[in-house]
Amino acid sequence: MLSTIPQTVGVDISKLTLDVYLHPQAIARQFLNTDAGIRAMLAWLGQIGDHQGLWGVRGGAGPGAVRWSGAATVKAQARR
């Protein structure tokens, strides 16, 4: 029986950047946390096909930094 590992996208959101990692392909990309950077990230994610997402906010990014996350995602709270 074949089993597949779904693609998972992890996004670490900071005030200045969106650090994105695609698993299991081990591809890392960084985008600016601006409207243009968010559009570029979403365009890139649109090219990789079906995926699940996990995102976490660090530092002073605040809730405005995750306005793009309308897809099925899970928020991870970093331990302090």
Would you say residue 1 has pLDDT above 60? no
The pTM is what? Answer: 0.68
Name residue 21's beta-bridge partners.
10, 28
Cβ proximity of 52 and 69 under 8 Å: no
Distance CA 32, CA 37 (A): 5
* pLDDT tens column, 17-76: 999 999 888 999 999 998 899 889 988 888 887 767 777 766 655 544 444 444 444 455
Cβ-Cβ contacts under 8 Å for 41 (sequence gap 6 or more)? 11, 18, 20, 29, 31, 68
